Amino acid sequence: MSVSPKTTRLWHCGSHRLNYARRPLIMAVLNVTPDSFSDGGRFFDANQAIEQALRMEAEGADLIDIGGESTRPGAAAVAAEEESRRVVPVIEHLAKRLHIPISIDTTKSEVARRAVEAGASIINDVSGFTRDSQMLDVAARDRTGLVIMHAKGTPQTMQRRPRYHDLIGEIRRFLSDRIEAAADHRIPKNRIAVDPGIGFGKTARHNLKILHHLDSFSDLGVPLLVGPSRKSFIGRILDLPPSERMEGTAAAVAIAIFQGARIIRVHDIKPLVRVARVADSIRKEELIP
């Protein structure tokens, strides 16, 4: 199944059509968990999560990615019922108030189904829709947008000496194969974005190489999403905790946009909206408002 990049300028997510060609899209991270690596459970309370999402929209986010299970290295697994209990009420409330689409960050089809029923229109699966055999069925039935991510292992195992014979080639083949798997479920490319999975089964050097060679994924014919926000490789370079990695994240975001990323997943919305727009204006040699 082949669709030219020109025909996929709009990312179709339920009733939403997101134009990623005009400027990079900002995906805001909202962790409704008690053990997030980046915010220490600040938004585990539903009311605080709702207020944070509304604030992110006001600061310029194009979509909100809500997760109820931490995917940090070593994080414990969460049962589908508990994960749903965390995210579904937040999504139900936000679906009535937000003007931007909601993404559910999960690897479980039951959580995805409940989240979509509550108002989510994108499924972001860090396993690339491989861990739960019914995930692509949910996405196909409900005509959601998809984010297919590459990860080596699970959060419990992924940082135990990850190795590759051909880092970029292996990630690219995985993403291409998963796009084809989606096509087998009659999911067209205009509903798919791909993510090479910075920090998911990769060493710090692997992450740097991925960012340097993002253009290797440009001919997949779908928008490329990159999530460098506050990641440990930035901490390794700057010797700083997650709460102080915004400037390092900004550098990674600018590089990612120059290398072809069209969706940027971040925590700090207002400053990184500005970074993304300036970086994209320089890349295109255009003054983009």
Per-residue pLDDT of 154-209, as tens digits, reads 665 656 678 899 999 999 999 999 999 999 999 999 999 999 999 999 999 999 99
Query: Residue 154 has what pLDDT?
Result: 66
Distance between CA 197 and CA 41 in Å, rounded? 22
pLDDT at 36: 58
CATH 3.20.20.20 fits 10-284, yes or no: yes
pLDDT value for 77 = 82
* Catalytic residue numbers, as ranges: 231, 265
What pTM did the predictor assign?
Answer: 0.91
Distance between CA atoms of residues 6 and 258, nearest Å: 19
Q: Is 147 helix (H, G, I), strand (E, B) or coil?
A: strand
- DSSP, collapsed to helix, strand or coil, labels residue 91 as helix
Q: Residue with structure tokens 């409900």?
A: 142
Mean pLDDT of 126-136: 96
Query: How would residue 5 be classed by pLDDT, with cut points 50, 70 and 90?
Result: very low
Please state, in angstroms and as integers, the Cα–Cα distance from residue 88 to each residue in 49, 67, 81, 208, 221, following that order.
12, 10, 10, 35, 32
Q: Which of 85, 90, 125 is nearest to 109 (CA)?
A: 125
Q: How far apart are CA 278 and CA 289, in angstroms?
A: 9
Q: Which of 122-136, 149-163, 207-221, 240-254 has the lowest mean pLDDT?
A: 149-163
